[in-house]
Amino acid sequence: MTQALPDFERMWADLAPIGRSAASGGYFRQPWAAADQELRAWFAEQAAARGLGLTEDAFGNLVAWCGASGEPGAQRAEGEPTTGRAVLTGSHLDSVLDGGAFDGPLGIVSAFAALDLLRARGLRPARPLAIAAFAEEEGSRFGRACLGSRLAVGAADWSEVAGLTDDRGVRLGDLVPGGPAEPWLAEIGCYLELHVEQGRALVDLGAPVGVAAGIWPHGRWRFDVTGRADHAGTTRMEDRADPMLTYAMTALAANKQARLAGQRATFGRLEVSPNGTNAVPGHLRAWLDARADNESDLHAMVAGIQTQAEARAKRDGTRVEVTAESVSGAVSFDEPLARRVAGAVAGGDRARVRRLPVLPTQAGHDAGILQAAGVSSAMLFVRNPTGISHAPEEFAPMADCLAGVEALADALAELLA
């Protein structure tokens, strides 16, 4: 085994304790909080150890650069074209609340290890390589998924998100300078992201690594349900305007509609006011995460859930308002790029290429944001035997992680050549 692969194990062990809860075993790596700052410092150390130039854009996205021909610290070699040549890889470092260890960091650790492996092989790249750590991918602090990549490509406007606040009232604009979309992505010719699989397809297929085909359309909708706060003991049931009843029926309706359609609908976050045990709530705010295999069915499902919520609200004497906070359309990854990646992973063996799993994903990724913005993108997935994601049980065996590093290195070697 080359030295690069044990380096993966060392880097993974270094990250393991950062942001981990002793109680649950899950991770709390929210953007720009203490654990995330420690991870960002680790990223800078890894870049420096490899002689890579490090930049941070106005939105907190970190990028480590290695110039063409492998010269350390160079964003591009002297005289090279400045547009669309570099190969970008990486992922994100932040997590959901009480999340798993692999979602995000696996792609970044694998990127550094793949670079080590390419150097050990003596590769002399013809194109620059960049490794990115995108900020606020999960949306766990400011409620906007893939916010760093959206801002970088101009898919989100800084003036509209600078005032977003976290649950402690901290403004996004107080943490990063922000501004117009920055030009560093003009340097990028293609993006390849390695990620732990968020499901069991590779387990069922008996394969450690697969290639992504595309991303389901998905989004987040905020349901504001307003009723009348009252006393839980003295107010008769028939005299109440209880938003909790409206919400409960809405959550059940979402579950039923998604199950019948074979899609996804989840209420996973809830805020109640006044949030007292002996009080009928006066206001409730809930967030719906909805995903479907096509955009028409996605919007039809959300509209159906809203219709049922409004019908129930009339019976309960409450009022419902629905706000779309972030909605992403379907993304099909660049097919020629995916074929090149698959061919490299399979060593050019056509039979192996045919056996390499090609999977759709129901989860959003920075790769989807870049692809939608016109940056040719592809993804590799590493097997997750639990099938669980966004939870402490998320897992990838070390042997599969190392297989992912080898696959990423093979694919990067093809793209950098």
Residues 157 and 284 in one domain: no
Residues 46 and 169 in one domain: yes
Residues 322 and 351 in one domain: no
Stretch 354-380: mean pLDDT: 94
Please report the pLDDT score of residue 6 as a whole number. 72
Residues 299 and 204 in one domain: no
Q: Is 53 exposed, middle or buried (0-12, 13-18, 19+ CB in 10 A)?
A: middle
Stretch 327-353: mean pLDDT: 92
- What kind and span of H or E run contains 108? helix 105-120
Residues 336 and 322 in one domain: no
Give residues with Cβ within 8 angstroms of 162, minimum separation 6.
Answer: 171, 172, 173, 178
Please report the pLDDT score of residue 348 as a whole number. 82
**Closest among 167, 40, 51, 45 to 104, alpha carbons compared:** 40
Q: Judge if the upstream peptide bond of residue 274 is cis by omega within 30 degrees of 0.
A: yes
Residues 292 and 175 in one domain: no
Q: Say yes or no to pLDDT of 183 above 90.
A: no
Q: Say yes or no to pLDDT of 72 above 80.
A: no
Q: How confident is the model at residue 182 (pLDDT cuts 50, 70, 90)?
A: confident
Sign of CA dihedral 256, 257, 259, 263: negative
Tell me the DSSP string of 350-369.
Answer: HHHHHHS-EEEESS--HHHH
Residues 159 and 31 in one domain: yes
Residues 190 and 253 in one domain: no
Lowest mean pLDDT among 62-71, 123-132, 192-201, 346-355: 62-71
Q: How confident is the model at residue 84 (pLDDT cuts 50, 70, 90)?
A: low
Q: How confident is the model at residue 351 (pLDDT cuts 50, 70, 90)?
A: confident
Sign of CA dihedral 232, 237, 239, 241: positive
Give tens-digit pLDDT for 390-417: 999 999 999 999 999 999 999 999 999 8
φ and ψ of 81, to 5 deg: -60, 150
Q: Say yes or no to pLDDT of 123 above 50.
A: yes
Q: Say yes or no to pLDDT of 30 above 90.
A: yes
What is the 8-class DSSP label of residue 332? E
Q: How confident is the model at residue 2 (pLDDT cuts 50, 70, 90)?
A: low
Please report the pLDDT score of residue 67 as a whole number. 82
Stretch 218-240: mean pLDDT: 97
* Residue 225 near residue 283 (C-beta atoms within 8 A): yes
What is the 8-class DSSP label of residue 181? P
Residues 234 and 321 in one domain: yes
**Closest among 164, 214, 170 to 337, alpha carbons compared:** 214
Give tens-digit pLDDT for 31-50: 999 999 999 999 999 999 99
Residue 24: domain span: 4-216+330-416
Domain count, the chain: 2
* Residue 135 near residue 89 (C-beta atoms within 8 A): no
What is the 8-class DSSP label of residue 72? B
Q: Is 41 exposed, middle or buried (0-12, 13-18, 19+ CB in 10 A)?
A: exposed
* Residue 336 near residue 211 (C-beta atoms within 8 A): no
Structure tokens of 39? 């991870």
Give tens-digit pLDDT for 142-160: 989 999 999 999 999 999 9
Residues 212 and 350 in one domain: yes
With a pLDDT cut of 70, the percent of the chain lying above it is 95
Residues 254 and 144 in one domain: no
Strand partners, 279: 231
